[in-house]
Structure 1
């Protein structure tokens, strides 16, 4: 018996990187997982195939969370394939991509997060949990400056966190808890690579400041732990290097 045998989860942005590892670990513990991708269907299907090969349950669903029907497609997939939904991991983020418009970061990191949660709330029962994944650079952006290249993303992610936290009273009324997992720069992620390209040496500088940086696998394990952790709603779990931002 796995710790999450009775759980159905949606993990947004889970065709690669942190989201894919979160999906794999959730399935390893017994959860049925909706793996979300925006464009790269083969990558998402590979994640699902890996989960199924290990005896888990998963389905890949293409959905652009910034589109009106994207969030609903994920909720429908959870209900139709696995009978419900009681864990929502809001992992999808972006804004450093080119050609998607100046307001894309805010659309994805704030508006789409709220839209995804609102769609999920229609089917999530009492005892469900929502986990929002962010970075220290975004979580602390109002008090600690970040790299110029990342500031628009950081501010949009902080706006998303604030908008989600505004929904905590409504979540509490429904018996649904909300937690935030905030991580330092994570080795091997697309964001870290883009930041290092924009500001050469950024990863090494942050590694020196923090002592070490978490890997994708390590950070994903911390996110999965928060799916069932006995913490109060509104809790923020800091993963690696937060002392630099709080001193």
Structure 2
């Protein structure tokens, strides 16, 4: 992680945050940044409890507060149990970071990407809303390859995932009116290919040179820690009029 914290200490004091898919990678770094700024953070994991507990321990060692909350986001009962635990621990939630995504894993059902990247995102939001007071915020994390998929083609291997993530984004945006009525703000954080992520590694393995080609086209690619810092800042920065925070170069993408 970068030495410079993206948020000043105390910026998020009193804030109760859940970051989905936060036992590693972008989610874990985002959770650490939020905790460093004073938030109490719930570290969500699907089946790697030891890894999630290690993130919790690191936050606590740094003087922060965190809990690990396991849930398979594609299983509604599991999601309900996660929020029951959060309610019991904190009696509410002020910040929901929808970071978990997937679809390139082996051995999953054909519709897994859509179930996780669209259906589960909506289900998590619906179950979170009763806990979220006016003034809360929802942050949805996506990629340029998904955000712009309707107008800019991506690699064949990634297209099903990109389309499912865009479907998830659209489904969440369809709730903007309801969120506004509740006094809850919403922002999409879209980033380019991120150095060091599993997705980038899998795409590079399937299409050698893809990462370098995108790096040259964009000028540079963000690291996991750098992108996580942008996600953390999205928790407090003013919401753009189009509810979209674009991170990194977008000159190669056509606006939808």
TM-score by length of 2: 0.94
Describe the superposition over 1:174-199 as per-residue Cα deviations: whole angstroms up to 9, x where unpaired: 00011000000000001100111111
What is the rounded CA distance, in whole Å, between the counterparts of 2:153 and 2:245 in structure 1? 21
What is the rounded CA distance, in whole Å, between the counterparts of 2:196 and 2:203 in structure 1? 11
**Contact 1:113/1:160, CA 8 A, preserved across alignment:** yes
Q: What is the match of residue 96 of structure 1?
A: 104
Q: Which of 120, 145, 152 is matched with 2:160 structurally?
A: 152
Q: How many residue pairs get matched?
A: 247
CA drift at 1:83? 2.9
Moved over 6 A (4+): none
Q: What is the match of residue 126 of structure 2?
A: 118
Q: What is the match of residue 39 of structure 1?
A: 47
Query: Residue 138 of structure 2 aligns to a residue in which SS?
Result: strand
**Contact 1:179/1:233, CA 8 A, preserved across alignment:** no
Describe the superposition over 1:162-183 as per-residue Cα deviations: whole angstroms up to 9, x where unpaired: 0000000011110001100000
Is 1:235 the counterpart of 2:243 in the alignment?
yes
Q: What is the match of residue 23 of structure 2?
A: 15
Query: Residue 122 of structure 1 aligns to a residue in which SS?
Result: helix
Q: Which of 192, 201, 220 is matched with 1:193 structurally?
A: 201
Is 1:181 the counterpart of 2:184 in the alignment?
no
TM-score by length of 1: 0.97
Q: What is the match of residue 4 of structure 2?
A: none
Is 1:209 the counterpart of 2:217 in the alignment?
yes
Q: Which of 76, 79, 82 is matched with 2:84 structurally?
A: 76
**Contact 1:8/1:78, CA 8 A, preserved across alignment:** no
CA drift at 1:213? 0.3
Describe the superposition over 1:141-166 as per-residue Cα deviations: whole angstroms up to 9, x where unpaired: 00000000000000000000000000
Describe the superposition over 1:194-234 as per-residue Cα deviations: whole angstroms up to 9, x where unpaired: 11111111111110110000001100000010101112575
What is the rounded CA distance, in whole Å, between the counterparts of 1:22 and 1:239 in structure 2? 15
Is 1:64 the counterpart of 2:60 in the alignment?
no
Q: What is the match of residue 57 of structure 2?
A: 49
Report the CA distance shift for 1:234/1:82 in structure 2 as closer, same or farther (over 3 A): farther
What is the rounded CA distance, in whole Å, between the counterparts of 2:215 and 2:82 in structure 1? 36
**Contact 1:9/1:78, CA 8 A, preserved across alignment:** no
